[in-house]
């Protein structure tokens, strides 16, 4: 493909050093309603690399800067953008889905979507870190407002957002319960600080939680699985509980008993991506080494298909990364 050109004065071209896969990339490959992809099309939302060309209004970035990318692109003019809530923008789009993505030698993005990072952070880790941490930060800190000593349940530990949520919740001082179908993933989650580990194939997760908490239940449930876990999430949720979701990997349609919703005074919270302030916050954590990321595997661009197969297998623990030469 030809090297992409700058289109706006605020555009910056980044020579990608590493890109990371997200479940979104599998959805794009499978086809999404309302999104028409014309081949050839670079996939990928996450990436980091080196600034290669800058427009006249590139916000102080210069060639050679080592940067990480926020893949959420907004119009910067609507009422939500003006409030600093870019993920609510009616014209919001994501690299790899609505705009050419990061699994490529070059990507062109607005300068406002870039932040410089120390060159001591390996490209594979920087690329893997951003979107899952940004997404988990908005869910845990901004939306669910997790507090110290609260009980938080996280489904599907091993997924990137779930692992980032675990780390952020532990940093806050919450007590974290994690669920997986794999004892090996649960063992690794315990090493990362999970307080309670639950194998959903060998136990009734909601029942065990109600027993172990003396019927009190969870303060917060983080459910990105959707159809397969929603009912269990609600059974596990305590009075005044908050359920926060940013995805539905098993399917979007779920059933909710409205009587239990109002009686228990639950909050059901949606969340997606992150705004500029949250982008700054997680990049600050990355720069300071206060949050990290688990990389499952690294593939070359030529082995990109194998990277997608690894993600589709569900066997991964952490992020699947594609390294550019
Ligand atoms: Zn907007």
Distance CA 139, CA 66 (A): 27
Query: What is residue 261's predicted lDDT score, i.e. its pLDDT?
Result: 97
User: Taking residues 210-225, what's their average pLDDT?
Assistant: 97
CA–centroid distance, 94 to ligand 1, in Å, is 13
Q: Measuring CA to CA, which residue among 317, 276, 325 is closest to residue 293?
A: 317
Query: What is residue 37's predicted lDDT score, i.e. its pLDDT?
Result: 86
Kindly write down the DSSP assignment for every residue of 206-233, as one continuous string. Answer: HHHHHHHTTT--EEEEE--S-TTTHHHH
Query: What is residue 222's predicted lDDT score, i.e. its pLDDT?
Result: 98
Q: How confident is the model at residue 59 (pLDDT cuts 50, 70, 90)?
A: confident
Residue 220 has pLDDT above 80, yes or no: yes
Question: Token digits for 16?
Answer: 């990608």
User: Taking residues 92-107, what's their average pLDDT?
Assistant: 96
Look at residue 104 and give its three-state secondary structure: coil
Query: What is residue 35's predicted lDDT score, i.e. its pLDDT?
Result: 82
Beta-carbon neighbours within 5 Å of ion ligand 1: 74-75, 78, 81, 89
Chain centroid offset of residue 31 CA = 20
CA–centroid distance, 74 to ligand 1, in Å, is 5
Q: Measuring CA to CA, which residue among 76, 23, 71 is closest to residue 47?
A: 71
Query: What is residue 46's predicted lDDT score, i.e. its pLDDT?
Result: 98
Distance CA 270, CA 226 (A): 12
Average pLDDT in the chain: 96
Distance CA 196, CA 89 (A): 38
Query: What is residue 175's predicted lDDT score, i.e. its pLDDT?
Result: 98
User: Taking residues 64-80, what's their average pLDDT?
Assistant: 98
Q: How confident is the model at residue 33 (pLDDT cuts 50, 70, 90)?
A: confident
- How long is the chain? 325
The structure tokens 């999970």 sit at 194
Query: What is residue 32's predicted lDDT score, i.e. its pLDDT?
Result: 84
E-state strands within 130-216: 151-154, 175-180, 196-199
Task: Kindly report, residue by residue over 228-271, the tens digit of the pLDDT.
Answer: 999 999 999 999 999 999 999 889 999 999 999 999 999 999 99
Residue 124 has pLDDT above 80, yes or no: yes
CA–centroid distance, 319 to ligand 1, in Å, is 29
Query: What is residue 38's predicted lDDT score, i.e. its pLDDT?
Result: 86
CA–centroid distance, 53 to ligand 1, in Å, is 25
Residue 161 has pLDDT above 90, yes or no: yes
CA–centroid distance, 215 to ligand 1, in Å, is 43
Distance CA 14, CA 309 (A): 26
Q: Measuring CA to CA, which residue among 177, 181, 154 is closest to residue 165?
A: 154
Query: What is residue 285's predicted lDDT score, i.e. its pLDDT?
Result: 98
CA–centroid distance, 55 to ligand 1, in Å, is 21
Query: What is residue 312's predicted lDDT score, i.e. its pLDDT?
Result: 95
Query: What is residue 325's predicted lDDT score, i.e. its pLDDT?
Result: 76
Task: Kindly report, residue by residue over 261-304, the tens digit of the pLDDT.
Answer: 999 999 999 999 999 999 999 999 999 999 999 999 999 999 99
Q: How confident is the model at residue 34 (pLDDT cuts 50, 70, 90)?
A: confident
Global pTM?
0.97
β-strand partners of 51: 14
CA–centroid distance, 89 to ligand 1, in Å, is 4
Distance CA 165, CA 240 (A): 20
């Amino acid at each position: 493909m030809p090297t992409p050109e700058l289109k706006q004065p605020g555009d910056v071209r980044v020579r990608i050093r590493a890109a990371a896969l997200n479940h979104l990339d599998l959805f794009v490959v499978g086809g999404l309603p309302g999104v028409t992809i014309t081949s050839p099309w670079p996939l990928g939302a996450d990436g980091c690399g080196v600034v290669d060309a800058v427009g006249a209004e590139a916000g102080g970035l210069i060639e050679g800067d080592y940067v990480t990318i926020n893949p959420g692109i907004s119009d910067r003019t609507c009422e939500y953008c003006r409030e600093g809530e870019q993920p609510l923008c009616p014209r919001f789009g994501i690299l790899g889905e609505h705009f050419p993505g990061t699994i490529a030698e070059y990507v062109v993005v607005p300068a406002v979507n870039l932040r410089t990072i120390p060159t001591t952070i390996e490209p594979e880790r920087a690329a893997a870190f951003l979107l899952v941490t940004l997404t988990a930060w908005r869910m845990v800190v901004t939306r669910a407002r997790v507090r110290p000593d609260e009980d938080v349940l996280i489904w599907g530990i091993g997924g990137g957002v779930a692992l980032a949520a675990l780390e952020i919740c532990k940093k806050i001082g919450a007590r974290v319960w994690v669920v997986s179908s794999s004892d090996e993933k649960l063992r690794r989650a315990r090493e990362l600080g999970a307080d309670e580990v639950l194998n959903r194939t060998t136990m009734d997760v909601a029942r065990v939680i109600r027993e172990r908490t003396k019927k009190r239940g969870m303060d917060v449930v983080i459910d990105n699985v959707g159809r397969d876990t929603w009912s269990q999430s609600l059974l596990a949720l305590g009075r005044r509980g908050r359920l926060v979701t940013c995805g539905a990997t098993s399917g979007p349609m779920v059933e909710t008993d409205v009587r239990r919703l109002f009686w228990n005074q639950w909050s059901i919270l949606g969340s997606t991506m992150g705004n500029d302030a949250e982008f700054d916050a997680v990049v600050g954590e990355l720069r300071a080494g206060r949050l990290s990321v688990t990389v499952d595997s690294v593939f070359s661009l030529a082995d990109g298909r194998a990277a997608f197969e690894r993600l589709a297998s569900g066997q991964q623990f952490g992020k699947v990364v594609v390294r550019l030469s």
